[in-house]
Amino acid sequence: MKEFIQILKENDLLRVIEEPVDVDLEIAHLAYIEAKKGEKGKAL
């Protein structure tokens, strides 16, 4: 898993959320926003 995450980071395909977020609301909203970006969306 660490190797996969490293590959995502190296290819700028991972968005790291540093601040605490509400699991039920904020993460779902952030995932929705990334999904709507199409090809430019990143893994969370």
Q: pLDDT for 1-44, tens place per residue? A: 899 999 999 998 888 878 887 777 787 888 888 888 877 777 77
SS3 content of the chain, % helix, strand, coil (to 5): 50, 5, 45
CB 44 within 8 A of CB 27: yes
Q: Would you state the pLDDT for residue 41?
A: 77
Q: Considering the entire predicted model, what is its pTM?
A: 0.48
Which DSSP symbol is given to 37? T
Q: Would you state the pLDDT for residue 18?
A: 87
Could you give the number of structural domains in the chain?
1
Q: Would you state the pLDDT for residue 24?
A: 74
Parent domain of 19: 2-40
